[in-house]
Amino acid sequence: MYKNKTNLIGLVIPDISHPFFSKIVKFIERDLYLKDYKMILCNATENSEKEKEYLTMLQENKVDGIIIGSHTLETEFYTKIRSPIVALDRYLSDSIPVISSNHAQGGRLAAEKLIENGCKNVLQVVGSRKVDTPSNERHDDFEKMMKENGIQCNSVELEWNKFSFSDYEIVSKYILEEYPDVDGIFSVDLVASSIIKYAQKKNIQIPEDLKVVGYDGTDISQIVNPSITTIRQPFELISSSTVDILDRLIKKEKDIPIKNIFDVQLIEGETTL
């Protein structure tokens, strides 16, 4: 039988204070614990050296495996590694298993909802294209469906690593001032909450004048008023699959699937009809 060397797993993410990561990390810690692993947490946003250091720990057998939900290094760096690594919502290399939501489906569900609601001029807030994440796939499908339905679709790209609420306030202000005729918005929950707040200050009625569909399905979508109609990522399934696949890599099992994609779900809130 295979014996673990350290029972430690490294988890590298951009920012634990972001509600998406704090929620998924809660489940990953629980699922690792159930398989007798402990989790070393690394916030990598501000420091690509940190991510490199964790990969080095892996090569020196100080951890049994690594989950990478960040992406600060060149692709060559990842492809050289032969130790157990899984990628959480990131494309690292063709040989590293990736676990993610079905983001394309998420883009389509959001588009359908705004189309059903009669929107004629929509806008989506796009994550930085610098980050090679499956998550960006939602935008292509969203735009495609809008075009197929003759609906104008604008895109505003967020700057890389702009994660604070004050950054979102600047974007919200920009959007509502530069695109006053937009009647439907698609963005992650946190940005959506900021747009809603700014729209309320400008007496724009939601959902009457402006429909909003969020993305992620974090608690934020429930906390704000009106609650946000949102595409919920399957946090529990992503977590259990991530831990399961990493465990199989550590145990040197064969035929481990590279692409592991899970359905998302539209949760009805009060920002659409």
The least distance separating a copy of itself from the CB of residue 161, rounded to whole angstroms, comes to 14
Using rule CB under 8 A, residue 50 touches a copy of itself? yes
Q: Number of residues interacting with a copy of itself: please give it, by CB under 8 A.
A: 36
The least distance separating a copy of itself from the CB of residue 27, rounded to whole angstroms, comes to 9
Binding track, positions 224-243, relative to a copy of itself; x by CB under 8 A: xx------------------
The least distance separating a copy of itself from the CB of residue 111, rounded to whole angstroms, comes to 26
Q: Catalogue the long-range contacts made by 255-262 (C-beta closer than 8 Å, 24 or more residues apart).
A: 256/97, 257/97, 258/94, 258/95, 258/96, 258/97, 258/98, 259/97, 259/98, 260/97, 260/98, 260/99, 260/100, 261/100, 261/101, 261/102, 261/134, 262/99, 262/100, 262/101, 262/102, 262/234, 262/237, 262/238
Q: What is the dihedral of CA 156, 19, 96, 253, to 10 degrees?
A: -150
The least distance separating a copy of itself from the CB of residue 256, rounded to whole angstroms, comes to 26
Span 178-217, contacts to a copy of itself by CB under 8 A: 190, 193-194, 196-197, 200-201
CA dist 9 to 6, 105, 177, 208, 245, Å? Answer: 8, 31, 46, 48, 13
Among 4, 35, 41, 126, binds a copy of itself (CB under 8 A): 41
Among 140, 148, 219, 253, binds a copy of itself (CB under 8 A): 219
Using rule CB under 8 A, residue 223 touches a copy of itself? yes
Interface residues toward a copy of itself, by CB under 8 A: 8, 15-19, 21-23, 25-26, 29-30, 33, 38-43, 50, 165-166, 190, 193-194, 196-197, 200-201, 219-220, 222-225
